[in-house]
Amino acid sequence: MLKYRLDIIRRFIPLYTFILIVSILIIIVIILASALTTSKAYSYKHTIDPIENNPNIKTNNEEENNINKKSN
């Protein structure tokens, strides 16, 4: 059955035309996937942690204590 279908395709569509059509379809799918992921990336809302809750930032009191400890 598959061989019969391939024979029909070969009679009506030359091989280079078939390859060209498949290649164009693959390119269209890749472009659509790229556009979808790009638009999804631009619509992503980034958040920033508040400064008060950030453990990596030293407060002014901690910095002054460190300076006083170093000078002693």
Rounded-to-integer distance, Cα 53 and Cα 37, Å:
33
What tens digit of pLDDT does each residue of 22-72 get? 999 999 999 999 999 999 888 888 787 666 766 666 666 665 566 666 655
Domain assignment of residue 64, yes or no: no
What total of structural domains would you count in the chain?
Answer: 1
Calculate Rg over the CA atoms of the chain. Answer: 32
Residue 1 pLDDT > 60, yes or no? no
How far apart, in Å, are the Cα atoms of 13 and each of 6, 27, 36, 71?
Answer: 10, 20, 32, 86
Note whether residue 1 is domain-resident.
Answer: yes
For 16-31, what is each residue's pLDDT tens digit?
888 899 999 999 999 9
Q: What is the pLDDT of residue 27?
A: 98
Determine the structural domain holding residue 4 and report its residue range.
1-27
- Cα separation, 41 vs 51, in Å, equals 26
Q: Is residue 8 part of a domain?
A: yes
Q: Rounded CA gap, 65 and 59, in Å?
A: 10
Domain-embedded: residue 14: yes
Does the residue 42 lie in any domain?
Answer: no
Residue 23 placed within a domain: yes
Overall pTM > 0.85: no
